[in-house]
Amino acid sequence: MINYRKPDLTEHPPRSLRVRLGGYAHLCRLLDKARAVIANKGGEYHYNCPLDEAFFGFTGIDHAAMLAEIKTGKTDVEILAWVSTQTKHQPHEIAAWSAWLELNGPGGADGHEWVASVLKGHKSARDDIRSFADLLDFDDYVSFGGAV
């Protein structure tokens, strides 16, 4: 059984960007990565990656302040309560941002080439990967033994 209070990202991937906490997409994934990095169990995952930066940019939360809160051992719900004190976004704004994040894709040619390189690296001919959320879910699945 996976213990999300002490994730080991050398054994399993973080939760999907699509899993929401308080309406926020990516927050659970960010917490999993931070907790694993704190415990030196981050594997190839990084805290404060570009998707984490998107969350911090939207909320206005400093990544170092968030990491300090996570280091105190707070649960997901306790971190959500802390996040709520740090940002004043309304639920409809959070929902809109989260929907955008789930659909956000590579944009220009460079982004599409990068997505194609990830798919080729996994020897996959899939042509249904449209967003970064799709790509992360696929990459996590394949990286931990899922069939292409």
> pLDDT band for position 17 (50/70/90)?
very high
CA distance 60 to 62: 7
- The reported pTM is 0.92
Cα end-to-end distance, the chain, whole Å? 24
HSE, CB side, 13 Å, CA atoms: give it for residue 91: 3
- Quick: pLDDT tens for 56-115: 999 999 999 999 999 999 999 999 999 999 999 999 999 999 999 999 998 889 888 988
In the predicted model, what is the mean pLDDT of residues 20-34? 98
CA distance 86 to 101: 20
Residue the block writes with tokens 């939360």:
61
Nearest residue to 50 via CA among 29, 35, 19: 29
Specify the pLDDT at position 101.
97
> pLDDT band for position 3 (50/70/90)?
confident
Specify the pLDDT at position 72.
97
Q: How far is CA 4 from CA 36, 60, 74, 75, in A?
A: 9, 25, 12, 9
CA distance 97 to 20: 12
In the predicted model, what is the mean pLDDT of residues 12-18? 97
Q: Domain segments of the chain: what residues?
A: 1-89, 105-148
Per the prediction, the chain carries an average pLDDT of: 94
Nearest residue to 17 via CA among 8, 33, 28, 31: 28
